[in-house]
Amino acid sequence: MTHYVPEGLPGELKHCIGGELVGSVSAKTFDVLDPVSNTPYATAAAGQAEDVDRAVAAARQAFVEGPWPRMLPRARARILNRIADAVEAQDRRLAELETFDTGLPITQALGQAQRAAENFRFFADLVVAQADDTYQVPGRQVNYVHRKPAGVAGLITPWNTPFMLESWKLAPALASGCTVVLKPAEFTPLSASLWAGIFAGAGLPDGVFNLVNGYGEEAGDALVKHPDVPLISFTGETTTGQTIYRNCAAHLKGMSMELGGKSPAIVFADADLDAALDSTLFGVFSLNGERCTAGSRILVERPIYDEFCARYAERAANIVVGDPHDPATEVGALVHPEHYDKVMRYVELGKTEGRLLAGGGRPSGLDSGNYVAPTVFADVPSTARIFQEEIFGPVVALTPFDTEAEALALANDVKYGLAAYLWTTDLARAHTFAQSVEAGMVWLNSHNVRDLRTPFGGVKASGLGHEGGYRSLDFYTHQQAIHVSLGPVHTARFGSGRKGQS
């Protein structure tokens, strides 16, 4: 296979602090690999605590002294819309770089770039339309809510669809008037390096956006523990989220955490089988299976189980795996050799826990790069590790059920609770079952189609808090209650010496 390398790749990725591109104080760097050749294409500055200190100081100064938090919402919205315009204008370049850095298929990376632009446009609209509450006690009191930005927000983002997920945090944080320090994932820092130029061109004041590259254990840890960062928004796996939770405790920081998932797709015998097949295949194999909301456990009612398994496996075996830059590719290369090794360990484990129907190794003809054939296991018991644990790759477990109660028990029998997908034409069952599933989000007769106005988040080990719509603005702002008296206030006169008077 020809290894495509985009033109104009940077050889060095620096931090952005106070509007300037700088290296680490220590001069430490780390190599960044592309997932097709697994060879370094750039070095990135490896941020340490002193680099985070500089970034937080710049963000704090911009918050305390700069114009951004004090701008009218419409003025901030104009800049956010210019950011969206800039992202849309270079969406193909963004997709090209994202595909090179992550291994995502180019058509899917292009969609993610366009979603990133929409995130900024959505929150530009929302912050202008924001209305806060007023409560009246006629003739006595007016009570109103004064909303103000919370301060410096620490944003820690993952390596799957990095540019889009960065925008998901940056847009509401900036719309709210916060200043930010972004710590992108160390596996995929390339597209994050574009934000500084996009923001400067849109007129965002220096210091409002800051970026520190580095490892989670170093740069991320310093950001979480920094006393001048009152908010941490994190997307990533659950174990890291637990560590962040503990480290935020010392300063009682606000936290929003979207963590891992092992989401079920439940297919009843009365479902539209063709639509369910399309959706459940896309739901686990799109984005190379590297998605937190992947429907990686498919529970199928017994009367249609054998047919579903056969048709599902046939389709999975025909999925096009190959060069991420080829528009025909449906599954590209996994992000990094470490992650590839992890997924392959689960594939081998699955051969002892279920019946292999498709995939099970490296695709034929792809002898190098982080390629895994879409892999389907059937007859997987709920006790199996491939049923219980997040794999985060193109691997799916199929399990039969006989009754609605059994389906619900299987759906809820994991530590995660991010998403669920339900396929049935029985309207009463659809709503009753959906409301009983332990998941933050449920899609009925659909795959993951997002409405940015709705809450996004999970329960159990899948997260803490919600983002999306006004909930995002709530997270990045303080809501201060102000009480105004409209007449005489009758207060008990302590210390007046007048007995019985109140």
Which residues are marked as active site? 258, 292
Instruction: 326-330: list long-range contacts, CB under 8 Å, 24+ apart.
Output: 326/105, 326/106, 327/106, 327/107, 329/105, 329/106, 329/107, 330/105, 330/285, 330/286
H helical segments located in 364-485: 385-388, 404-412, 427-436, 470-475
Q: Which of 249, 248, 322, 312 is closest to 282 using CA atoms?
A: 312
Residues 6+ apart with CB under 8 A from 181: 52, 55, 56, 59, 152, 153, 154, 155, 210, 211, 212, 223, 229
Three-class SS state of 216:
helix
Could you give phi then psi for residue 159, rounded to 5 degrees? -95, -5
One-letter amino acid for residue 466 of the chain? H
- Check residue 152 and report its DSSP letter: E
- Distance between CA atoms of residues 354 and 357, nearest Å: 9
Of the candidates 146, 156, 154, the residue with the CA atom closest to the CA atom of residue 185: 156
Rounded to the nearest angstrom, the gap between the alpha carbon of residue 410 and the centroid of all alpha carbons in its chain is 26
Q: Which of 451, 433, 414, 428 is nearest to 267 (CA)?
A: 433
Task: Read off the tokens for 58.
Answer: 């710049």
